[in-house]
């Protein structure tokens, strides 16, 4: 892979807040950004970039024009269709590649991949019918979590099943004929690790952080996570093993459970910047967004040290209305995403603050 120097154009697939923050980091390093997405130019990312192609993922002519205009491509959304990524890769480097997305887009493939590497997950079964759901519930036991295999995020496309629940109604409620039943994990805490990897295999990982959710959506991330050195090292080892075996170029974020008996189990992974890495904008030597730019352009990776313990809080829905109080707090660093309606469950921004001593 050749170095993509400052002054080049980085293409970003997807136009949400992750693309927005990546574009701002790219601009600071002297790059231009061209975003491709079905969303309009008034999207979170579209507001801050020089070029925006609004077209569907199936539009091969638009994809070809986009590829001709950029020097390298990355993404901010792992559910870009793999056929679109494969098509683009015939014209220009795309990082991460379609082979990474094929695993990350499918929860069964994702957990199977981890298990083949000897990395633990919750017990799971693929579920494609009511009969398979009944069999899986018997084998795994309830309570358990039924999820759509693809696309679900922030608590969408999933529900908890308890003993005695109506499995027929549950399978219908998922809204997909491809699902996964995951055994319930009695965890002590949820953590995540963001790893950056270059094409030559060089890697750097941010320290594990602790995540707490509200209604299935990330609420706060506390940095660093309260872990023993051995568990922290194991979490980083798992993330770096997955990044290596997937041949990721860019970022890989891995969400994990720490069980009460000290095991570290993989929950989900995403080959892109991650909500639990937003703290890096203000309290790390290099932000995850700059790190993504460095990795896909084959530049030296930046330092990942924590500059101060901190907490990141998502502003979800009308939480964003507290912005005047946040701005009045000299310790707070506010990041708003330029979105319009503050709908329930919609991530409107985030705020980071140092942890009190």
Question: C-alpha 71: how far from its chain's center?
Answer: 24
Q: Confirm or deny that 234 is annotated as ligand binding.
A: no
Q: Confirm or deny that 156 is annotated as ligand binding.
A: yes
Q: Is 116 exposed, middle or buried (0-12, 13-18, 19+ CB in 10 A)?
A: exposed
Question: C-alpha 42: how far from its chain's center?
Answer: 22
Q: Confirm or deny that 339 is annotated as ligand binding.
A: no
Q: How far apart are CA 29 and CA 31, in angstroms?
A: 6
Q: Confirm or deny that 290 is annotated as ligand binding.
A: no
Q: Cα separations (Å) of 351 from 86, 152, 256, 348?
A: 37, 25, 23, 11
Q: Confirm or deny that 32 is annotated as ligand binding.
A: no
Q: Confirm or deny that 331 is annotated as ligand binding.
A: no
Q: Confirm or deny that 283 is annotated as ligand binding.
A: no
Q: Confirm or deny that 39 is annotated as ligand binding.
A: no
Residue with tokens 């009460």: 260
Q: Cα separations (Å) of 255 from 96, 264, 327?
A: 18, 10, 31
Q: Confirm or deny that 347 is annotated as ligand binding.
A: no
Q: Confirm or deny that 155 is annotated as ligand binding.
A: yes
Q: Confirm or deny that 154 is annotated as ligand binding.
A: yes
Q: Confirm or deny that 30 is annotated as ligand binding.
A: no
Q: Are 29 and 10 in contact (CB under 8 A)?
A: no
Q: What is the largest CA-CA distance in the chain?
A: 61
Q: Confirm or deny that 178 is annotated as ligand binding.
A: no
Q: Confirm or deny that 185 is annotated as ligand binding.
A: yes
Q: Confirm or deny that 291 is annotated as ligand binding.
A: no
Binding residues: 107, 147, 152-158, 182-185, 190, 213, 267-268
Point out the annotated binding site for ATP: 107, 147, 152-158, 182-185, 190, 213, 267-268
């Amino acid at each position: 892979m050749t170095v993509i120097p400052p002054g080049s154009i980085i293409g970003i697939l997807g136009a949400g807040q992750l693309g927005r923050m990546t574009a701002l980091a790219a601009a600071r390093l002297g790059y231009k950004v061209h975003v491709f997405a079905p969303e309009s130019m008034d999207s979170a990312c579209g507001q801050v970039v020089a070029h925006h192609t609004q077209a569907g993922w199936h539009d091969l002519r638009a994809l070809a024009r986009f590829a001709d205009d950029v020097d390298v491509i990355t993404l901010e959304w792992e559910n870009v269709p793999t056929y679109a990524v494969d098509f683009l890769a015939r014209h220009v480097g795309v990082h991460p590649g379609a082979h990474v997305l094929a695993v990350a887009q499918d929860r069964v493939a994702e957990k199977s991949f981890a298990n083949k590497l000897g990395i633990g997950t919750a017990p799971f079964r693929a579920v494609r019918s009511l009969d398979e759901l009944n069999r899986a519930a018997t084998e795994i036991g309830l309570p358990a979590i039924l999820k759509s295999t693809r696309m679900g995020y922030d608590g969408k496309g999933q529900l908890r099943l308890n003993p005695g629940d109506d499995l027929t109604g549950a399978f219908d409620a998922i809204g997909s004929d491809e699902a996964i039943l995951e055994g319930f994990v009695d965890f002590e805490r949820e953590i995540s690790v963001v790893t950056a990897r270059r094409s030559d295999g060089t890697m750097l990982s941010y320290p594990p952080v602790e995540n707490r959710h509200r209604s299935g959506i990330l609420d706060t991330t506390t940095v660093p996570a309260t872990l023993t050195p051995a568990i922290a090292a194991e979490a980083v080892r798992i993330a770096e093993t997955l990044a290596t075996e997937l041949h990721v170029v860019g970022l890989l974020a891995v969400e994990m459970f720490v069980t009460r008996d000290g095991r570290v189990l993989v929950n989900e992974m995403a080959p892109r910047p991650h909500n639990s890495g937003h703290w890096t904008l203000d309290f790390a030597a290099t932000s995850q967004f700059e790190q993504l730019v460095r990795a896909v352009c084959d530049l030296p990776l930046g330092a990942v040290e924590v500059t101060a313990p901190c907490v990141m809080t998502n502003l979800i829905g009308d939480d964003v209305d507290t912005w005047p109080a946040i701005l009045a707090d000299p310790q707070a660093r506010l990041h708003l995403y330029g979105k319009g309606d503050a709908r329930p469950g919609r991530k409107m921004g985030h705020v980071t603050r140092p942890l009190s001593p």
